[in-house]
Amino acid sequence: MEETQDFADTPYNTVDEAVPSGQSDAGLMKQMLINEKAAPEILTYQADLVARLEELIENQDQRIQDNDSPDAELIRSLYLQELLRVKYLLRSYLRTRIQKIEQYVMHILDDPEYQERLSPKELEYAKEFFVTSGQHLKEKVLQHMPPGFDKLLKQSATSEGNDTIPMPDLDRHVFCHVLEDRGTVELEETGTETAEFNKDDLYVVRYRPIRDLVQDGWVRLI
């Protein structure tokens, strides 16, 4: 457990049981992957964590190549197994994000706050994807519609604002695990309903009231 002391000050140190050094990042990534999968909206890109994992993968690759003696077969296969698991986590994480970006591309590009949550490469991807799929819809449907009904982002010329943008449902219910004592949390905007969030409590709640807690790492989604 001593090796995990570096992470003692983050609320995530409870995610892993006894883990050897270097694997805490994998544990963190596992939680980030689960959060990303469970949250209705796209979460902030974990740039540092991804960079650390990429380094880890490279080191592990090197270690496997260095251990090429026949006696080290078992060690090598253990290293390889770990490597594949880390790679899986990282790929799944990025894959889940790309899928969410595609699903809500217009909503994300419409809002600078969401744009900041993407990595530069993801943002580039989102922009190009929007152009591609917008073009496709235009060519197939929109350009054949009468004037006033030929816009991608509006149902008709009389719409107030953009009303054809798919949005994530922030009021969907999620399962969450409280990682640190947090006291009373308001579950309604009006403050009429509250819950006591204590460490290791489990709740099924609407996502919206706890979205900041997820973002800041006070609770994790399960």
Partner 1 sequence: MFGKRAAELLREVAFCQPDTLPPWNDELIRQVLEEVSEHNNMMKRIFRDVNKREAVKFAARGEGTEDEFPGVDWSQQPDEAAAVIVHHESILRNKRLLMTYVKERADRIKSLRWRGRSIPEHILPQLSPTEVQYFKTYDRLLTKYMRKGSTGIGMDLTLDARPPGDPNLQVRVVKDYGEMMFSSGRFILRRNMVLFLPRHEVESLVREGVLEPIELDNHLVTKY
- Applying CB under 8 A, the residues found at the interface with partner 1 are 77, 80-81, 84-85, 87-88, 90-92, 94-95, 98, 102, 121, 124-125, 128-129, 132-133, 136-137, 139-141, 144-146, 149, 155-156, 164
Question: Shortest approach of partner 1 to residue 82 CB, angstroms?
Answer: 10
Long-range contacts of the stretch 95-98 (C-beta < 8 A, 24+): 96/33, 96/36, 96/37, 97/36, 97/42, 97/45, 97/122, 98/122, 98/125
Neighbouring CB atoms inside 10 A of 66's CB total 11
- Quick one: 91 or 172, whose CB is closer to partner 1? 91
- Quick one: 142 or 195, whose CB is closer to partner 1? 142
User: From the DSSP assignment, how many helices (H) and strands (E) are in the chain?
Assistant: 7, 5
Question: Shortest approach of partner 1 to residue 222 CB, angstroms?
Answer: 17
- Quick one: 36 or 207, whose CB is closer to partner 1? 36
- Quick one: 30 or 220, whose CB is closer to partner 1? 30
Q: Give the number of C-alpha atoms closer than 13 A to the C-alpha of residue 77, restricted to the C-beta side.
A: 4
- Quick one: 54 or 181, whose CB is closer to partner 1? 54
Amino acid code (one letter) for 195: A
Question: Shortest approach of partner 1 to residue 74 CB, angstroms?
Answer: 12
Q: Give the number of C-alpha atoms closer than 13 A to the C-alpha of residue 64, restricted to the C-beta side.
A: 16
- Quick one: 163 or 200, whose CB is closer to partner 1? 163
Question: Shortest approach of partner 1 to residue 28 CB, angstroms?
Answer: 17
- DSSP β-ladder status, 173-178 and 202-206: antiparallel
CA 10 to chain centre: 18
Question: Shortest approach of partner 1 to residue 83 CB, angstroms?
Answer: 9
Question: Shortest approach of partner 1 to residue 134 CB, angstroms?
Answer: 11
171: tokens are 């009021």
Closest CA to 25 of 1, 56, 2: 56
Q: Which segments of 41-72 does DSSP mark as H helices, in order?
A: 47-66
